[in-house]
A and B are shown apart, each in its own frame.
Chain A
């Protein structure tokens, strides 16, 4: 009996240790970024253009650029991803084509982000002549997040009880009406989870935007989807490696803003999601 108790305590301790091992690095990162970057935060830092060869002034263009890229890529990837997931989970039969599509989605999820960047360069920038622009960057980032959105949407659709579909059909609803009225509304929170996951990914990626949209430095803000933008992760990279003499708190401040921006967008999306949950 005591033996069992001791074993249980050891097992419990191991599980707790594993959990702490996961949490500790996250805490460490946050503490590091906040302590080193906090002093850089100011209204000037957040809302003005860089000065002195990006060694002083603000990072507003990079913040705006990342925000725009997130918005543009999600508004491209979310509808397409959701539609694809609805097709795959509600319409597609289990045949060779479906299996090939599934395989493609899994593989798409495994492709490294720099390959997406090269792909975006050759397809959007060069072949479709969108140039190095927000459009090219957002499409590249969107394609990169499609597997996440499709997978989470399919899970969300699968989690809607079969009985809802059955009742809907039994009341004479067509397949589309059933999906529209008795499946999608109940899957919306889950679908938004996919969108939330994508926000972080899109905001943080450097490689896909490297060749497709990101600018080293721009003296003015973008006006259209055809313009280049600065973006936080790329800006952080160049400030750390390409420009000598950038103050440390400026670099960590940029990282802090990036993390903070993702956090704010996630909170906003989570709020929208919980509103959907309450409505149901």
Chain B
């Protein structure tokens, strides 16, 4: 499997605070990569570098390179809008628009002019099918998405990305608002989506990383301490700090 995302010597400052320090990793295509580490270690910041969501914050300085499919996403010629279509994001709190289920899915395709009006129904159906929501919601497409359960909302947010044909899914603690059973079902969905998407997940939950991911990176205080196959990280960590973290000595 080839590298979908290649990060090299990435440094990021929020004002004077050095939040990412010389981070480098390569993310395999159509695999699930998890980033673990204690709060404030920079894992969400790293995730947000990959779709340039950090651009929205004032006073951020980024150095180094992030290449996706070989293209430097911070090069002057790349448009963040095209990047974010390709690299979608799922947030910690499920955040559907207070619109109907249908309009939530249709938002992305409309913004990117991906569909004519008569194709939109198919896109909505396919996107909901991709996240196994179609059977539950096919009769509730006009209902306000805020009325859905948390798990359904989170699936809907993933379906929104399917609708714009994202290739990479960045998931920022996607299950932290969900109960354990819903969490398991979302993890199942992630494994199912793995055949079509490159998935990066930031999680607090080490068991989740162990259960779901192929590769794992451990971050601490802005540095990527260790990165490798999930089985290796969890069974034979090379770094003492990784071992301390996964065995629960801190964090």
Contacts and interface: CB of A to CB of B under 8 A. Distances in A.
Our verdict on whether A and B bind, yes or no, reads yes
Contacts of A280: 98-99
Contacts of A169: 53, 56, 84
A171 B160 contact: yes
B88 A167 contact: no
A261 interface: no
Interface stretch (B16-24, B104-112, B119-127, B129-137): B104-112
Given A169-B53, A172-B112, A173-B111, A164 B84 contact: no
A19 interface: no
Given A172-B81, A172-B82, A173-B81, A167 B95 contact: yes
Contacts of A164: 95, 97
A44 interface: no
A167 B97 contact: yes
Contact of A172 (B85, B91, B98): B85
B164 interface: yes
B91 A171 contact: no
Interface residues of A, number: 16
Contacts of B88: 170-171
Contact of A163 (B56, B93, B161): B93
A170 B111 contact: no
Interface string B69-91: 00000000000111111001101
B152 interface: no
B51 interface: yes
A112 interface: no
A278 to B, nearest CB: 11
Contacts of A186: 98
A63 to B, nearest CB: 40
Please list the 7 inter-chain residue pairs (A to B) with the smallest Cβ-Cβ separation, ordered nearest first: A172-B85, A172-B84, A170-B89, A173-B111, A171-B108, A172-B81, A163-B95
Given A169-B84, A171-B108, A172-B108, 9 more contacts: A168-B111, A170-B91, A171-B88, A171-B107, A172-B83, A172-B84, A172-B112, A172-B164, A280-B99
19 contacts: A164-B95, A166-B56, A167-B95, A168-B107, A170-B91, A171-B84, A171-B85, A171-B108, A171-B111, A171-B160, A172-B80, A172-B84, A172-B85, A172-B164, A173-B111, A181-B111, A182-B97, A182-B107, A280-B99
Interface of B: 51, 53, 56, 80-85, 88-89, 91, 93, 95, 97-99, 107-108, 110-112, 157, 160-161, 164
